[in-house]
Structure 1
Amino acid sequence: MRIVEKTITGIDGSTARLTGYVAESSSEMADTARPAMLILPGGGYAMTSERESDPIALRFTAAGYQTFILRYSCAPSRHPVALLQAAQAMRLIRAHADDWRVAPARVALLGFSAGGHLAATLATASGEAALREHGFTEPQEVRPDALLLAYPVITTGPHAHRRSISTLLGPEHRHDAALLDMLSIERHIDGRTPPVFVWHTMTDPTVPVENTLMLIQACHEAGVRVEAHLFPEGGHGLSLATRATARAGSPGAAGEPDPDNVVPAVQIWPDLALTFLAGAFADRP
């Protein structure tokens, strides 16, 4: 295993960090290219969560994926800085397919919360205009082959997580009707959208589950393959929903994990995602 690091400079001069966990060739194992996964942590476009970074990457690395984390630029950077960095990260992964032992037609994109919104913007027609404007003349070339979303921000409408959208656009553009329409993902699902896996909790107090329900309906209407899992309980930002990825509890809890972040019923989602990916990639080289 080796760790690769790349710096991606944004159009505003900010920098993003791409970190990869790459399994190298071994005489003891079959020397074949592996599927890859690019992970976009959440954080309301104000930061990128470490709870949704390395623990997620290592979970999928153990399952045979070459995994990459993009710690993209957040506020004060504004749209489309992070989108262009995510597109560049996808381009780098495919461009280094031989060196990083990646199957370039089996690259998944996994986003959490606001990172889910960023992932969905790249994977759908929502981001096409901005990509073309900034030199990605063929947006399909940087789209993932499968899209995985965990408690994602989807809509800019009545059920929006307004803080994420406002942070992404900044005070100058947070009420820009054209931008809000472009970044409302459910309005831009079409036949070119890759297969979608999504999960959410019904009791999420931060990003309403209606975001995911709107995504499911849009995929269904467009004929896009979608697998959705709605868990009856659990808060927002669960990551793996284990003790290892739980937020620290209150100061009086002596560093114990927040019990609201440990939800055994949710812990199955990585296995469900891997089964989904096996099916989505079954006919790909």
Structure 2
Amino acid sequence: MRVFLAPLFVFAVLSLGTSTHSSAAEPFQPQPIVPGGILLPLYPADSPQLNHDRVHEAENYNSTFEKKPATILNVINIHNPSIEVHLATDEPNNTGAAVIVAPGGGHKILWVGPEGADCVPFFKKQGVSTIILRNRLRVDGYVAEIDAVNDAFQAIRLVRAHAVEWKLDPAKIGIMGFSAGAELSAPTAVLYEAFERDNNGASDPLAKVSARPDFVGVIYPGPTPFTAHPETRIPGDVPPSFIASAGSGDKVHALWATDYFTAMLKAGVPNLEMHIYGNGGHGGGLRDRGGIPFGAWTARYAEWLKDLGFLNKPGLPTKAAADVAAYAKKSKR
């Protein structure tokens, strides 16, 4: 659900089909988007979630030479979905928080550069670790509302399962999605109970790990669960959400953002925040957009995270958690 006008970059399509890291007998091993990242597949090699006829196929990368060295701008042909972890746990201002970033691309491509790689230095300044999600795409034959959303849930469980190893706070693991990526982050706010119920088999190594995010970012979103079903059930322990979009210049995505906000607001969900800006268009990631207010949504997001306690030292209870507990208790009355 994304329209993107390609910037004037020089592109190179890098086909890794002959990579020494992959063969027809084993799942493809992706190339890092940002140097130094920890790469992990979302699923075990024998997982029934994977398409074993295609899991060995190489991802295709478009790169730009505007930056030196050349950086990967977008990715297609994803059959072995993965996460790329960039830890901030060695930073003096480490918070123990982590955000899983789901890039957009209309389910046709993943804009892992402007809506993935660019997030790493931004969140590092906040003392927050960044995890770039490479989910499966509709263009490659997958069902976005099922396969890609499951990838988002699996990413949350996988990061939480490694929290001790990576020195993360397991109560500060959130997800943020851009455009089509927000079609993955938004469902994680309300459908985690169903995912956990349907993915708790004895053979699943993450069966006992919570898939619930501690906070959710919904940035110029595609349709959310509330678009087709306004009465979608909101769990009692629903996490807080931050929503941002341009307004008239990106009308359809602003309306989808409003669908989500209105349902949450009607339910009285705490710590819900939305910014709809008077000027601006669709896409753009974290860039400043020539200095218009929409370009400062990232500052508002950082303020929101700080206000809810996610930028405090690791291990300290958050305001968000206390508010969630109070809301859950009230919902049970």
Q: TM-score, normalised by structure 1?
A: 0.74
Which amino acid letter does the alignment assign opposite residue 141 of structure 1? S
Return closer, same or farther for 1:139/1:233 CA change in 2, 3 Å cut-off.
farther
Say whether residues 1:35 and 2:97 are aligned partners. yes
Please give the per-residue CA displacement for 1:191-242, whole angstroms capped at 9, x wherever unaligned.
3321111011112447331111222211111111211111001111121133
Q: What is the match of residue 263 of structure 2?
A: 218
Q: What is the match of residue 258 of structure 1?
A: none
- Contact 1:42 1:114 (C-alpha < 8 Å) held by counterparts: yes
Corresponding residue SS for 2:171: strand
Q: What is the match of residue 203 of structure 1?
A: 248
Q: What is the match of residue 99 of structure 1?
A: 165
- Displacement of 1:23 in angstroms is 3.0
- Displacement of 1:41 in angstroms is 0.8
Q: What is the match of residue 46 of structure 1?
A: 108
Q: What is the match of residue 210 of structure 2?
A: 141
Map 1:17-96; keep pairs closer than 5 Å: 17-25=82-90, 29=92, 34-50=96-112, 51-75=114-138, 76-78=141-143, 79-96=145-162
Which amino acid letter does the alignment assign opposite residue 208 of structure 1? H
Corresponding residue SS for 1:230: strand
Which amino acid letter does the alignment assign opposite residue 146 of structure 2? P
**What count of residue pairs does the alignment treat as equivalent?**
239
Which amino acid letter does the alignment assign opposite residue 38 of structure 1? I
Return closer, same or farther for 1:263/1:145 CA change in 2, 3 Å cut-off.
same
RMSD: 2.9
- 1: CA distance between counterparts of 2:39 and 2:200? 24
Q: What is the match of residue 250 of structure 1?
A: none
- 2: CA distance between counterparts of 1:278 and 1:100? 22
Map 1:161-200; keep pairs closer than 5 Å: 181=228, 184=229, 187-200=232-245
Which amino acid letter does the alignment assign opposite residue 111 of structure 2? S
Answer 1 or 2: which has greater helix percent: 1
- 2: CA distance between counterparts of 1:117 and 1:88? 15
Q: TM-score, normalised by structure 2?
A: 0.64
- Contact 2:230 2:263 (C-alpha < 8 Å) held by counterparts: no
- Contact 2:190 2:233 (C-alpha < 8 Å) held by counterparts: yes
- Contact 2:102 2:132 (C-alpha < 8 Å) held by counterparts: yes
Structure 1: gaps of 5 or more residues: 161-180, 243-260
Give the one of 254, 273, 281 matched to 2:301. Answer: 273
Say whether residues 1:7 and 2:41 are aligned partners. yes
- Contact 1:191 1:223 (C-alpha < 8 Å) held by counterparts: no
Structure 2: gaps of 5 or more residues: 1-34, 52-78, 311-316, 322-333
Return closer, same or farther for 1:12/1:138 CA change in 2, 3 Å cut-off.
closer
| Deviating 4+ runs (over 6 angstroms) | 136-140
Corresponding residue SS for 2:210: helix
Return closer, same or farther for 1:156/1:143 CA change in 2, 3 Å cut-off.
closer
Corresponding residue SS for 1:47: coil
Q: What is the match of residue 182 of structure 2?
A: 116
- Displacement of 1:263 in angstroms is 5.4
- Displacement of 1:2 in angstroms is 4.7
Q: Compare CA radii of gyration and give the structure with the larger one.
A: 2
Please give the per-residue CA displacement for 1:235-278, whole angstroms capped at 9, x wherever unaligned.
11121133xxxxxxxxxxxxxxxxxx545321211111111112
Please give the per-residue CA displacement for 1:130-178, whole angstroms capped at 9, x wherever unaligned.
5532338989921111111111123478xx6xxxxxxxxxxxxxxxxxx
- Contact 2:175 2:216 (C-alpha < 8 Å) held by counterparts: yes
- Contact 1:241 1:266 (C-alpha < 8 Å) held by counterparts: no
- Contact 1:70 1:89 (C-alpha < 8 Å) held by counterparts: yes
Which amino acid letter does the alignment assign opposite residue 84 of structure 1? N
- Contact 1:152 1:212 (C-alpha < 8 Å) held by counterparts: yes
- Contact 1:110 1:148 (C-alpha < 8 Å) held by counterparts: yes
- Displacement of 1:25 in angstroms is 3.7
